[in-house]
């Protein structure tokens, strides 16, 4: 199928709209009507199997790809409290799902009240015809109506927004629009989104280095409770603190890690995510973070981990230098894109 004339028309001006698309050439020209409407099929496994299928067929090349099933989507949406704070739009041709977009809004303490495009996806053979543009425009319109106080809309979930498809599903921090996704970037750009901040996705092999803590310094690994900001952001995930501590037990540097089930499944090896590294201000530039990351890479290797992944803002000079020094190399880069409202 080749699109000759694209454009969705909205004869009645209502949210549920009809699209008229001319496909093909000459005598083979025919019309099809894509109906874009709010998702009204509920959040049960069977209904969500349709979305999972569309996602799995079309998003496989995304760095943040996670293979879904309806059952998993249903569980994650309910666990993440997504049902009451998000809206889903569907695009259908003769009953067949050809696209969907998922929008949410969040109030994270200390952060602007933001809307998020959690996901937007159009079946490969229906791209370039205005379906994505219309899904995006309708979703933003809906967000404005539901939550008038939003400061901006974030494209594809840069932390602390948009945890659903990457963070919650895969225990990773990957978010935003990857530089290998020009069509997606252009879709958001045309809708008025602008780049707000860039990030790198970096990886290092997990290897035991034979490194031991300096005399008088200990390593403590503990499971995080369910009431920290990280547990709230990565709601269904298990995270661990890998701490370097002095004799009194005071933390000299902390690294937080977890398992990445989705990417591990996709790559056939075990990946862990390093969510954050922090050294108390008065302990910085003494090598504690570097030492702790070295120990952590050995610790997770002992747990069967092959590779550790992290996400770092390119303007975080200390962190970037630290990660390069501890063996992390860049594998992808993403842009946080915002539409100010
Ligand atoms: C990034 C951070 C964890 C570094 O902790 P640290 O214990 O001070 O780091 P180290 O002393 O082990 O430094 C190791 C190397 O990292 C690099 N580095 C650390 N701080 C740096 C800085 N302020 N500027 C440039 N490079 C820096 C250097 O290469 C350093 O080696 P050097 O001191 O011999 O030059 C710390 O600055 C921090 O807690 N920042 C706030 C939290 C944060 O942004 N975390 C990262 C989120 S992804």
Domain match, 216 and 136 both: no
Confidence at 265, pLDDT banded by 50, 70, 90: confident
Cα torsion through 255, 256, 259, 264, rounded to 10? -50
In a domain, 171, yes or no: no
What are the pLDDT digits (tens) for 286-318?
A: 999 999 999 999 999 999 999 999 989 999 999
Q: Is the peptide bond before 33 cis (omega within 30 degrees of 0)?
A: no
Cβ contact 288:252 at 8 Å: yes
292 Cα: distance to centroid of ligand 1 (angstroms): 12
Q: Average of pLDDT values for 55-71? A: 80
For residue 293, give the 3-state DSSP assignment. helix
Q: Which of ligand 1's atoms lies nearest the C-alpha of 284?
A: 8
Smallest CA separation from ligand 1 atom 26, residue:
318
Residue bearing the bigger pLDDT, 60 or 54: 54
C-alpha separations of 134 from 98, 189, 317 in Å: 13, 14, 39
- Verify whether ligand 1 is closer than 6 Å to residue 109 (CB atom): no
- Determine whether the shortest distance from the Cβ of 318 to ligand 1 is under 6 A: yes
144/208 same-domain check = no
In this structure, are 140 and 217 located in the same domain? no
In a domain, 92, yes or no: yes
Give Cα separations from 27 to 19, 31, 32, 94, 207 (angstroms).
21, 12, 15, 22, 63
195 lines ligand 1 (CB under 6 A): no
Q: Based on the structure, what is the number of domains in the chain?
A: 2
Q: 313 CA to middle of ligand 1, Å?
A: 14
Alpha carbon 103 to its chain centroid, in Å, reads: 13
Establish whether residue 316 lines the binding site of ligand 1, counting it when its CB lies within 6 angstroms of any ligand atom. Answer: yes
Task: Show the domain range for 50.
Answer: 3-150
Is residue 185 a part of any domain in this protein? no
For residue 296, the CA-to-ligand 1 centroid distance in Å is 16
C-alpha–C-alpha distance, residues 257 and 272, integer Å:
7
Q: Is the pLDDT assigned to residue 225 strictly greater than 70?
A: no
* Domain limit, last residue, from 150, 165, 180: 150
Q: Measured from the CB, is residue 321 less than 6 Å from ligand 1? A: yes
Tell me the residue ranges of DSSP E strands in the chain. 3-5, 17-23, 30-38, 86-93, 96-106, 114-122, 152-155, 177-178, 194-205, 218-223, 240-245, 251-259, 271-278, 307-313, 329-340
Q: Are 272 and 308 in contact (CB under 8 A)?
A: yes
Residue closest via CA to ligand 1's atom 30 equals 322
In a domain, 180, yes or no: no
Shared domain check, 33 and 135: yes
Both 26 and 144 in one domain: the answer is: yes
Q: Is the pLDDT of residue 2 over 50?
A: no
Considering the domain architecture, whether residues 124 and 235 belong to the same structural domain is answered as no
**Number of the ligand 1 atom closest to the C-alpha atom of 285:** 11
Same domain, 127 and 229: no
Report the separation in Å between the CA atom of 336 and the middle of ligand 1, taken as the mean of its atom positions.
23
pLDDT tens string 174-185 = 678 888 888 889
Report how far residue 117's alpha carbon sits from residue 122's, in angstroms, rounded to the nearest whole number.
Answer: 14
Residue 328: what pLDDT?
98
Which amino acid residue places its CA nearest to atom 17 of ligand 1? 322
Which residue, 41, 65, 47, is CA-closest to 55? Answer: 65
How many angstroms separate the alpha carbon of residue 232 from the centre of ligand 1?
26
Q: Which atom, in ligand 1's list, is nearest to the CA of 325?
A: 29
The CATH code of the domain that includes 21 is: 3.40.630.30
Distance CA 145, CA 341 (A): 12
d(CA 106, CA 87): 12
Q: Rounded to whole angstroms, how far apart are CA atoms 82 and 92?
A: 23
**Residue 214 sits in the same domain as residue 122:** no
């Amino acid at each position: 199928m080749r699109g000759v004339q694209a454009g969705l028309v909205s004869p009645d001006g209502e949210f549920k709209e009809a699209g008229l698309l001319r496909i093909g050439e000459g005598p083979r020209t025919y019309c099809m009507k894509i109906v874009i409407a709010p998702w009204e099929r509920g959040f049960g496994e069977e209904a969500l199997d349709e979305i999972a299928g569309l996602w799995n067929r079309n998003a496989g090349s995304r760095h943040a790809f996670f293979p879904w099933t309806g059952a998993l989507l249903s569980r994650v949406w309910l666990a993440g409290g997504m049902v009451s704070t998000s809206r889903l739009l569907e695009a259908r041709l003769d009953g067949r799902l050809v696209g969907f977009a998922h929008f949410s809004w969040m109030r994270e303490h200390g952060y602007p009240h933001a809307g998020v495009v959690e996901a937007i996806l159009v079946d490969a053979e229906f791209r370039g015809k205005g379906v994505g543009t219309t899904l995006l425009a309708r979703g933003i319109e809906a967000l404005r109506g539901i939550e008038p106080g939003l400061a901006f809309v974030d494209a594809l979930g840069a932390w602390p927004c948009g945890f659903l498809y990457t963070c919650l599903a895969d225990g990773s921090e990957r978010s935003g629009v990857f530089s290998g996704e020009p069509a997606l970037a252009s879709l958001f750009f045309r809708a008025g989104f602008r780049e707000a901040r860039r990030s790198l996705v970096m990886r290092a092999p997990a290897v035991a280095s034979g490194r031991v803590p300096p005399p008088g310094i200990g390593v403590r690994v503990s499971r995080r409770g369910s009431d920290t900001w990280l547990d709230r952001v990565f709601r269904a995930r298990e995270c661990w603190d890998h701490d370097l501590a002095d004799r009194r037990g005071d933390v000299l540097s902390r690294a937080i890690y977890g398992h990445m089930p989705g990417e591990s499944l996709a790559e056939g090896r075990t990946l862990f995510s390093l969510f954050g590294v922090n050294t108390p201000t008065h302990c910085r530039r003494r090598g504690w973070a570097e030492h702790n990351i070295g120990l952590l890479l050995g610790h997770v290797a002992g747990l069967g981990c092959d590779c550790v992944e992290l996400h770092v803002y390119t303007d975080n000079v200390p962190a970037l230098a630290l990660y390069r020094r501890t063996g992390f190399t860049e594998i992808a880069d993403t842009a946080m894109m915002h539409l100010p409202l």
